[in-house]
A and B are shown apart, each in its own frame.
Chain A
Amino acid sequence: MIIKKRLVTGAAGLLAALACGLILPPTATADEPSRPSPKVELVLDVSGSMRARDVDGASRMSAAKQAFNEVLDATPEEVRLGIRTLGATYPGKDRKVGCQDSKQLYPVGHVDRTEAKAAVATLRPTGWTPIGLALRGASKDLAGDDATRRIVLITDGEDSCGRPDPCDVARELAADGTHLVVDTLGLTPDRKVREQLSCIAEATGGTYTAVQHTDELSSRIKQLVRRTAETPVQTPTGVQGAAQCAKAPELGTGLYNDRERFGEHRWYRMKVAPGKELRASVSVAADRAVDPDYGVLLRAVTPGGRELVRGSEAGSGRTDVISTGLRYPVADADDDEDTTPRTVCLELSQSFSAPAGVKRTPGLPVELAVDVVDNDEPPADVAAFGLGRGWVLLGVLAVTGLVAGLVWGWVARWRITVWRSN
């Protein structure tokens, strides 16, 4: 009897738990239907030069190890983290072998702190600095689901292998449509290192930091890992604009990204119903060395080629992006039944140019934000509710009142006189 009762209780509890389980997941993920946890890979230079003792009196390697330990302790639960090394195994002089030396030390996944720390502790400064190769490897390690991806590259020297050029590799990886960001940290205040690392960061929309102290190193890596966790998971959808409106891809609402080469025009299409307003913003990023003067032009055009409205912006000097936007309300149709959406073409062009010697492909990264909202009526009056304000208004009203009163009074008097005389 008791057993039976227990069974019933258990079954009921199980049912409740099941119901609970059935209800919970949709609420937890209601906003983001599939939310893969963000991924980050730390790429650490373990080349021979890391032996140099110039970070707070300790060697660069021990500073990096200490920072890694702190970072591993502070890694948020939701982040999947991996570690890759470069130049960790081959101590020899053969360039060909040394430049293939990059391996995954700890696979990308939810971190087991003790295991990861033990792996880091085994590292000894050894070989060459194949940064380009390591970046490609890291990108492969991070491949897979649609999570946000970040590579944090910590190095003390420029690429000692030359080929592939790490900066070109970074740009290629960013253009792959994997939304990969590379943040770089340099351990030496050397001009070549700085140029190379800031070039890698610029190419992927990442940041470059010059590190002088151990605490700076660990706090910066922690910040970057945290940033990975906080970055909005919704990454823009890749799209390829066409050379003319007729062949242009049709966009819905939301965020898109594309690449546009120097001097190229790209077309997109939108369907906007009457009574709705199209809002489009675009930003073109300068992901490589560009000439100091630049501009961007976004035009909304009818399929027939008539310009409806345009947004443009020009600038000069150091910048990450140049952006502009436009609004185009489609008026309500005269006939209420007519709800056929109108086609609006968007033409994007930019006037970036690059000095000779700068790679032309892939094109510059473009981000489009498109929204369609309700249309608004033009106001009946420029002032709020057509109300008036000011001393002139008061004067006019007072004088008008006075004149009206006088006239009314005289009329009344005259009428009485006339009435009396009759």
Chain B
Amino acid sequence: MRALRKAGAALALCAAALFTAAAPAVADGNDGKDAQNGKDGLTEAGTNFRTATALEQGEKATATASTGDYLYWAVPVAAGQVPTVEAKVKLPDASARHGGATWQLDVYDGLRRHQPCASGSPTHHADQQDTSVSLSCTVRQVRSWSERWANDPLPGAYYLRLTVVDLPEQDLGLPIDAEVTTTARDAGGKHADGGELAEPLNPSLRAGTIAEPDSEPPSDADSGSGSDSGDADEDSPRAVAEPEDGWGSGWWSDRWVWTAGGGALGALAAVGGYTLTRGPRSSGTGSGRPPADG
């Protein structure tokens, strides 16, 4: 009996170990970026699209790097939001530099399409005596749906790339400190649009597989490569984690208030109009009539 109890305890321990082991594995599924997520926020940047460091909206990410490095981050943006990216680069000592340099902040969507900045200053020239350079980029409002031929921003991962685009050759490799934050404001009901993307543009980070050239075409049940992307992809690591409020803008917008208000106003106006036509008659025949004498 005791033996059994001991075995039970061992199994319980085992289960505990299992859970603790499973927890980091799940975190790994989220890109394994949590390890870097210390008290000071993220302190690393990726060096290409595939290794871009995932951050959340409002989170400040810093990175120590060399002048000339290409620094990548990825941030989730939902439909109906207008994201603004701000970056600040602390430049090397003016004495070590040999002239001015031009810094640039680029934003790419989850399909790696370059997204233009609707406002902000994504490119900035820093003079030799400047100690830091600030860049910002506000992307167009993220739509909930767009036609396939359009380049409209869609919900999903957005890649930020920070680099120097023009510099004196001697300054390559000098140390810099970079800092980025992404904030997003809600575009509001004015821009609440219809439609919904079945899946956000959140790229999978899984290695691909190549079908054998002479292999049988996949059976109907598998329905081609679609099957690979089905349930299996749910588990595969993605560029960014889904935001708390989901990828969509939700069903609510102030259009409901306007439309319902409009309906009520219309109804009131109808009652008013009706009363107007009845008004003179009722005053003629009803209480408006002069009281009968005697």
Q: A198-B173, A232-B32, A232-B237 are in contact. Are A384 and B194 (CB under 8 A)?
A: yes
Alpha-carbon distance between A148 and B162 when the two chains are bound, in angstroms: 24
Least distance between B272 CB and chain A CB atoms (Å) = 6
Residues from chain B with Cβ under 8 Å of A367 in the complex: 48-50
The answer on a CB contact under 8 Å between A24 and B224 is no
Say yes or no: is B122 at the interface (Cβ < 8 Å to chain A).
no
CB-CB nearest in chain A for B211: A250
The answer on a CB contact under 8 Å between A23 and B14 is yes
Say yes or no: is A123 at the interface (Cβ < 8 Å to chain B).
no
Say yes or no: is B3 at the interface (Cβ < 8 Å to chain A).
yes
The stretch that binds B, out of A88-96, A353-361, A388-396, is: A388-396
Alpha-carbon distance between A279 and B157 when the two chains are bound, in angstroms: 14
The answer on a CB contact under 8 Å between B22 and A402 is no
Residues from chain A with Cβ under 8 Å of B269 in the complex: 397-402, 405
The answer on a CB contact under 8 Å between B170 and A31 is no
Say yes or no: is B192 at the interface (Cβ < 8 Å to chain A).
yes
Contact-size category for A: 35 or more
CB-CB nearest in chain A for B233: A253
The answer on a CB contact under 8 Å between A254 and B32 is no
Alpha-carbon distance between A340 and B164 when the two chains are bound, in angstroms: 49
Alpha-carbon distance between A61 and B18 when the two chains are bound, in angstroms: 47
Alpha-carbon distance between A367 and B47 when the two chains are bound, in angstroms: 14
Residues from chain B with Cβ under 8 Å of A325 in the complex: 109, 111-113
Residues from chain B with Cβ under 8 Å of A372 in the complex: 224-226, 228-229
CB-CB nearest in chain B for A316: B165
Residues from chain B with Cβ under 8 Å of A385 in the complex: 194, 251, 255
Least distance between A292 CB and chain B CB atoms (Å) = 11
The answer on a CB contact under 8 Å between B198 and A375 is yes
Alpha-carbon distance between A12 and B2 when the two chains are bound, in angstroms: 10
Alpha-carbon distance between A191 and B170 when the two chains are bound, in angstroms: 7
B7 contact from A12, A30, A379, Cβ within 8 A? A12
B205 contact from A208, A234, A396, Cβ within 8 A? A234
Residues from chain B with Cβ under 8 Å of A387 in the complex: 192, 253, 255-256, 258-259
Least distance between A210 CB and chain B CB atoms (Å) = 3
Residues from chain B with Cβ under 8 Å of A406 in the complex: 273-274, 276-277
The answer on a CB contact under 8 Å between B68 and A198 is yes
Alpha-carbon distance between A237 and B206 when the two chains are bound, in angstroms: 9
Q: A9-B6, A253-B206 are in contact. Are A413 and B196 (CB under 8 A)?
A: no
Residues from chain A with Cβ under 8 Å of B235 in the complex: 31
The answer on a CB contact under 8 Å between A272 and B273 is no
The answer on a CB contact under 8 Å between A13 and B68 is no
The answer on a CB contact under 8 Å between B173 and A374 is no
Least distance between A413 CB and chain B CB atoms (Å) = 6
Interface string of A390-422 (1 = CB under 8 A from B): 100110111111111111111011000000000
The answer on a CB contact under 8 Å between B278 and A413 is yes
* Interface members, chain A 343-369 (any B CB < 8 Å): 367-369
Residues from chain A with Cβ under 8 Å of B259 in the complex: 387-389, 393
The answer on a CB contact under 8 Å between B274 and A390 is no
CB<8 Å pairs between A and B, sample of 6: A12-B4, A12-B10, A16-B14, A191-B170, A234-B207, A394-B258
